[in-house]
A and B are shown apart, each in its own frame.
Chain A
Amino acid sequence: MKRALSSCVAEGAEGLRRIFDQVKNQSRCVYGYGLSHPAANALELCELFGFEDLPRGVVSNYAPGHASLEKEREDQTCSSFFRHTPGATSPKSIQLPPRRVIWKANRTKEDHQKFQIALASAEQQKSNTLQPNPEILPVAFFGIRSCDLRAMHTLQNVFDVQGQGVPKSAAEMPLLITASCVEPGHNCFCTSFGYGPECQDSDLNITECFVEEEVQHNKGSESALEKTKCEQGKTARKQIFVVDAHTTRGRPIVEALSKDQHLRHASQHETALLTATLKRSQQRLKEFIAARVPNEENRSKVWAGADIAKQLRDQARSKNWETIAESCLSCGNCTMVCPTCFCTTVEDSIDLEAQRSERTQVWDSCFTAGHSYVHGGTVHKSTPSRYRQWMMHKLSSWHDQFGESGCVGCGRCTTWCPVGIDFLASAYQMTKGVE
């Protein structure tokens, strides 16, 4: 694994708070995974107004069609910050808002036959992309994951190819602070596409690690380090955050914090711990994927990511789509939660007196009848044909259209499918071509 030579370490929750505050100070607003309200049953991408909004001690459990949250322990000392995986909503809701007025038209006073058309402001157009207004501070994402970043790029690539993109200047990009997935979810399969669980192309990546240490009973010392430990029988758990800056925007954050002694270089022991933590996570991902793709040879094909494009293309006319989509409800949840699904439709509305008119862009899904409606009717009439359209686009025709995979392996479609159809397992079933 390639890694930045100089990992730094922040100790305990206090250390993380310094990083968060630093990021908060240099951004307009910070988005990250949190609980939208205290009794929420799932994590969502929301605005984090302060460090306290990070979902501390919350562990997510995902299975096909199931999501639940667990409190790590009553006592918050030493409880984790990043032992959850992404929530249902993704940065897509910021890149491509679910509803957005594109233009408004008013009849002119002078000539009733004429309209004055107002396009959505340039400001609003920009919010379609990753670039906020350069005059004000950028937005920041804190604690999002490797798959999120990949999905943001994938979606931006779609905008660019379709000519919706606004030319980028590096300074306008959001500040991207990622976290490694130390506890991957059951539905995750990012490594199938050759990346994750750590993020190497964000501005700054944080990996949460725990050091188990023998407790030394010297009651006298109450150092800051001591406070980051919490006792569990005879061993104490020490929480550290290994920080890797990858860009010219990430490095100044590290430098500023190092100057104030809030970050220090990682020791050899800590670097080893980091490697072990990530290795464990990778191993778990491998197990989770193996549970759904049992055949080693086929798995390697699914692992290859791009290879699956061809395999699925060969199955385009297969009868198996009927079997795969047997329990599919055509409800569209999978596409709504997918961080790269970009299909939209437009809703036109006029006022009762036909003086004003408005066009709104709304998230659509290939599971609706309207999506493939052309003159004469709907092309994808049946649910299996819609399911095929969805899977083939994500894993196969996206390569032809945009030169990469449309799936990033986040597993949201599997978690949030109300009948629990497993996307990865289904893709594997399809490539096998069994009757």
Chain B
Amino acid sequence: MKSKKAGAQQKKAKLAVWKFASCDGCQLSLLDLEDELLLLANSVEIAFFLEASSRVLPGPYDVSLVEGSITTREDQQRIQDVRKQSKTLISIGACATSGGIQALRNFADVDEFTRHVYATPAYIQTLTTSSAISEHVAVDYELRGCPVNKYQLVEVLTSTLHGKAPSIPNESVCMECKRQGQTCVIVANNTACLGPITHAGCGAICPRYCRGCYGCYGPKEQCKPAPLSQKLLERAAKGSASQNELARLFRTFNCNSTEFRAESLLQEERAQKAKKHS
């Protein structure tokens, strides 16, 4: 560590990384930092990060990163505990911020799922829903994405450590898309793209490869899916999305977010009605 005149004796902040129901992808983004990882290890004390090290230091922790959603009774308890031990709690990724892909259970009957998946469903104890961390405890900052963008992760950590507001715009994916001079895939290709209503952060990766945005970062501020759905349906004949496909498009990693959930239910209902009629 470089000698700091003022805060040389200052203790390093203790960092903890927690996992709930998730695929570990967001934690991997942390390990994937490469250049910044050593710097990070230098700047903070990694006190609890099971994916990286079995060394466990006791709490309290200065900063906790929480990955994953709440799907069991135990986790409901555990998150309370994590909150108590953490000065700053940052939830990272679609699971932690909205419930993740596993929130598909919120649209269906969990018992039926367990019956189909497990040989002995009786062993399975699970909640009927998957929910965001913020539905259980107070969260200081939510970082979106499935998975989170590693540069944004560094930005949030750096900002938290040094008391600065993170530069993480809550604008649309289109803004990132246009700044890079990408040709819009809705306008030019009739591709279904959720960019206009999706929170920025990924750097518009999909449009960059001529695909539509899947909404991995969830609804943006002022998210209004209805007019977009309508326009995409109007383009359906030209290869955009059908009602059924739209329902599915809204029902992925952020299916449990208020706006996406409502829109996917609406589109599903309409698709079913249309099917009955024909």
Q: Which chain A residues have a beta carbon within 8 Å of chain B's beta carbons?
A: 36, 40-42, 44, 65-68, 88-89, 93, 98-99, 111-113, 326-333, 336-337, 345, 347-355, 362-363, 365, 367-370, 382-383, 386, 415-420
Q: Which chain B residues have a beta carbon within 8 Å of chain A's beta carbons?
A: 2, 4-6, 36, 39-40, 42-43, 154-155, 157-159, 161-162, 164, 167, 169-172, 174-175, 178-181, 183-184, 186-189, 193, 195-197, 221-222, 224, 227-228, 230-231
Given A67-B187, A352-B36, A362-B179, A418:B221 Cβ within 8 A: no
Q: Is the CB of A332 within 8 A of B231?
A: no
Q: Is the CB of B175 within 8 A of A368?
A: yes
Which chain B residues border A327 with CB–CB below 8 Å?
A: 227, 230-231
Q: Is the CB of A330 within 8 A of B172?
A: yes
Which chain B residues border A112 with CB–CB below 8 Å?
A: 4-6
CA distance A93 to B182 in the complex (A): 12
Given A88-B181, A98-B179, A354-B161: 4 more A-B contacts, CB < 8 Å: A41-B189, A327-B231, A329-B197, A336-B179
Q: Is the CB of A331 within 8 A of B195?
A: yes
Which chain B residues border A355 with CB–CB below 8 Å?
A: 2
Q: What is the CB-to-nearest-CB distance from B252 to chain A, in angstroms, rounded to a whole number?
A: 19
Q: Is the CB of A66 within 8 A of B187?
A: yes
CA distance A382 to B221 in the complex (A): 10
CA distance A315 to B224 in the complex (A): 25
Q: Is the CB of A415 within 8 A of B187?
A: yes
Of listed B162, B170, B174, B189, residue having the most chain A CB within 10 A: B174
Which chain B residues border A328 with CB–CB below 8 Å?
A: 224, 227
| A-B contacts, CB under 8 A, total | 144
Q: Is the CB of A354 within 8 A of B162?
A: yes
Of listed A65, A328, A418, residue having the most chain B CB within 10 A: A418
Given A331-B197, A383-B222, A383-B224, A65:B187 Cβ within 8 A: yes
Q: Is the CB of A352 within 8 A of B187?
A: no
Q: Is the CB of A40 within 8 A of B227?
A: no
Residue of B nearest to A87 (CB): B183
Q: What is the CB-to-nearest-CB distance from B201 to chain A, in angstroms, rounded to a whole number?
A: 13
Given A333-B196, A353-B43, A93:B175 Cβ within 8 A: no
Which chain A residues border B6 with CB–CB below 8 Å?
A: 112-113
Q: Is the CB of A419 within 8 A of B228?
A: yes
Q: What is the CB-to-nearest-CB distance from B207 to chain A, in angstroms, rounded to a whole number?
A: 11
Q: Is the CB of A333 within 8 A of B167?
A: no
Q: Is the CB of A353 within 8 A of B42?
A: yes
Which chain B residues border A354 with CB–CB below 8 Å?
A: 158, 161-162
> Which listed residue, B158, B159, B228, touches A418 by the CB 8 Å rule?
B228
Q: Is the CB of B184 within 8 A of A333?
A: yes
CA distance A336 to B196 in the complex (A): 13
Q: Is the CB of B171 within 8 A of A368?
A: yes
Given A88-B184, A333-B184, A420:B195 Cβ within 8 A: no
Q: Is the CB of A331 within 8 A of B42?
A: no
Which chain A residues border B228 with CB–CB below 8 Å?
A: 329, 418-419
What are 26 A-B residue pairs whose CB atoms fall within 8 Å in the complex?
A36-B183, A41-B189, A44-B183, A65-B186, A67-B184, A68-B188, A88-B181, A93-B181, A98-B181, A113-B5, A326-B227, A328-B224, A330-B172, A348-B164, A349-B155, A351-B158, A353-B2, A353-B42, A355-B2, A362-B179, A367-B172, A368-B221, A370-B169, A416-B187, A418-B228, A418-B231
> Which listed residue, B5, B174, B179, touches A331 by the CB 8 Å rule?
B174
CA distance A353 to B43 in the complex (A): 6
CA distance A332 to B174 in the complex (A): 7
CA distance A383 to B187 in the complex (A): 21
- Sorted nearest first, the 9 A-B pairs with minimum C-beta distance are A331-B196, A336-B178, A327-B227, A98-B179, A41-B188, A347-B167, A112-B5, A329-B196, A368-B171
Which chain A residues border B221 with CB–CB below 8 Å?
A: 368-369
CA distance A383 to B193 in the complex (A): 20
